[in-house]
Chain A
Amino acid sequence: GAVVSQHPSRVICKSGTSVKIECRSLDFQATTMFWYRQFPKKSLMLMATSNEGSKATYEQGVEKDKFLINHASLTLSTLTVTSAHPEDSSFYICSARGLAGSFYEQYFGPGTRLTVT
């Protein structure tokens, strides 16, 4: 199946710093990419949806100025957590939607575990 990579897989940073997470679709063009966040023992919560070349659409309650999303190409989207605080510590997962044969499918990256100290 299609592969989506995320980098870094794990990051520990100090409070107040910014962290950038990359999401790449390795063998297909992703028309849409999604960013999710998952707190321990909770479900995945959609943060935002981004289409290549346009502004991301954020879910209610997600601060667009804090979570900057760039989707500059059909294979790369980035999420920047600005001025991170301990409550931003979470598992961030991206997914990419693209054409697989005759159908659109959504593939998940392996996730990035962010710890803010």
Chain B
Amino acid sequence: RKEVEQDPGPFNVPEGATVAFNCTYSNSASQSFFWYRQDCRKEPKLLMSVYSSGNEDGRFTAQLNRASQYISLLIRDSKLSDSATYLCVVEHGGATNKLIFGTGTLLAVQP
């Protein structure tokens, strides 16, 4: 079983739609959680950190449920420029602070 699991998609949505991505992680000792965005043939870029209380950044809302080991990302009013792969990322604590990436969910926003 992969440590971080995501639905690979693709999610094809019209402009203006609301879309939600889910992610589960298996290591209960994971300490920090993130959503990254990766455009085709580019490096991943941090979209937002995810906190237990839930957090919002403009059209993006992230939620964390530690009990269920579940992370979500909600994108409202989708734009064409939101088309990308969204990576769920979990950070181990301790000495190494390794980031473990999910396989990503592909979003295609259609005009």
Contact = CB atoms under 8 A, between A and B. Distances in A.
A106 B104 contact: no
A8 interface: no
Contact of B104 (A36, A43, A97, A109): A43
Contact of A46 (B42, B87, B100, B103): B100
19 contacts: A32-B96, A32-B97, A34-B98, A43-B87, A43-B101, A44-B101, A46-B99, A46-B100, A49-B98, A57-B96, A91-B41, A93-B44, A97-B97, A108-B43, A108-B45, A110-B42, A110-B43, A111-B42, A113-B41
Nearest to A6: B43
Interface string B28-70: 0000000000000111110000000000000000000000000
Name the interface size band of chain A.
Answer: 20 to 34
Interface of A: 32, 34, 36, 42-46, 49, 57, 91, 93, 95, 97, 104, 106, 108-111, 113
Contacts of A91: 41
B6 to A, nearest CB: 9
| Dominant secondary structure of chain A at its interface with chain B | strand
Interface string B69-111: 0000000000000000001000000001111111110000000
Contact of A104 (B41, B97, B100): B97
Nearest to B89: A44
Given A43-B87, A43-B104, A95 B99 contact: yes
B44 A108 contact: yes
Residue in B45, B87, B98, B100 with the greatest tally of chain A CB atoms within 10 Å: B98
A106 B97 CA distance: 10
Given A34-B98, A49-B96, A42 B103 contact: yes
